[in-house]
């Protein structure tokens, strides 16, 4: 079973460090302090010249994930531009005022992506019923859901993440993420329900190449 490490980078400096390693893909963002927003297209153009698949986050601003019509259209345009310049996938999500999946907007995102790989991001954890939300995301055609199990760290939400993976019956990849590190990834690595893992590899608020190598070593050994 192939196991994939997705590394999240928030600037070109960290990106250049990450691409030196054999990671499966990179979620490219900017503005770590707000949880990541869509990076500049100049930075994305630089990123896609690497051999590693690039999956930018499509998030027009900080704050909640309830978007107006203008913001939705801006996100759709961002997705189209990402496709044009050669990004392999997108990381995106939208909710309605009831903290449910905004199905109409997400359909537009998937249509704009037109075959690109797609991950529904951590907005998933804000939904009131994650199991119902998972079914909607599966029906929409996403390939992955990034989740910390509604906790501040993936390892703290491990039981809920495991239940989601069980109920998904491999119809979608449930990807643990949020402070996932070499010190706590074993729980997920030792469970055949999981094939995708997400980490920013930050130690003491800095991108750590040693941590990235440790994660890869654990995945390779598993």
CA 222 to CA 220: how far, in whole Å?
A: 6
Quick: pLDDT tens for 60-74.
Answer: 999 999 999 999 999
Cα–Cα distances in angstroms (integers) from residue 5 to residues 2, 62, 163, 198, 217, in the given order? 10, 26, 21, 6, 11
What pLDDT score was predicted for residue 65?
A: 98
Q: Is the pLDDT of residue 222 over 90?
A: no
What pLDDT score was predicted for residue 34?
A: 92
Rama region for 141: left / alpha / beta (φ>0; ψ in -120 to 50; rest): left
Quick: pLDDT tens for 156-167.
Answer: 999 999 999 999
What pLDDT score was predicted for residue 1?
A: 78
Categorize the per-residue pLDDT at 3 as very low, low, confident or very high, splitting at 50, 70 and 90: very high
With a threshold of 0.75, does the pTM exceed it? yes
Quick: pLDDT tens for 73-119.
Answer: 999 999 999 999 999 999 999 999 999 999 999 999 999 999 999 99
Given the structure tokens 């601003």, which residue do they identify? 61
Cβ 150 vs Cβ 157: under 8 Å: yes
What pLDDT score was predicted for residue 156?
A: 98
Cα–Cα distances in angstroms (integers) from residue 120 to residues 7, 49, 99, 172, 218, in the given order? 16, 25, 14, 11, 26
What pLDDT score was predicted for residue 49?
A: 92
Categorize the per-residue pLDDT at 14 as very low, low, confident or very high, splitting at 50, 70 and 90: very high
């Amino acid at each position: 079973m192939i196991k994939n490490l997705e590394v999240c980078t928030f600037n070109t400096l960290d990106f250049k460090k990450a691409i030196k390693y054999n990671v499966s893909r990179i979620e490219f963002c900017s503005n770590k302090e707000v949880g990541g927003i869509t990076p500049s297209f100049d930075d994305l153009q630089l990123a896609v010249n690497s051999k590693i698949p690039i999956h930018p986050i499509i998030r027009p601003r900080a704050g909640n994930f309830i978007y107006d019509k203008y913001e939705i259209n801006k996100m759709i345009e961002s997705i189209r531009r990402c496709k044009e310049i050669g990004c392999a996938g997108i990381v995106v999500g939208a909710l309605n005022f009831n903290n449910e999946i905004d199905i109409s907007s997400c359909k537009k995102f998937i249509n704009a992506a037109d075959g690109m790989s797609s991950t529904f991001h951590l907005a998933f954890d804000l939904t009131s019923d994650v199991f119902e939300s998972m079914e909607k995301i599966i029906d929409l055609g996403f390939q992955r859901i990034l989740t910390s199990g509604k906790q501040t760290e993936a390892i703290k939400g491990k039981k809920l993440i495991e239940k989601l993976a069980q109920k998904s019956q491999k119809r979608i990849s449930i990807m643990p993420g949020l402070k996932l590190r070499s010190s706590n990834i074993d729980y997920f690595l030792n469970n055949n329900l999981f094939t995708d893992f997400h980490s920013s590899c930050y130690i003491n608020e800095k991108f750590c190449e040693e941590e990235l190598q440790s994660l890869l070593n654990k995945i390779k050994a598993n």
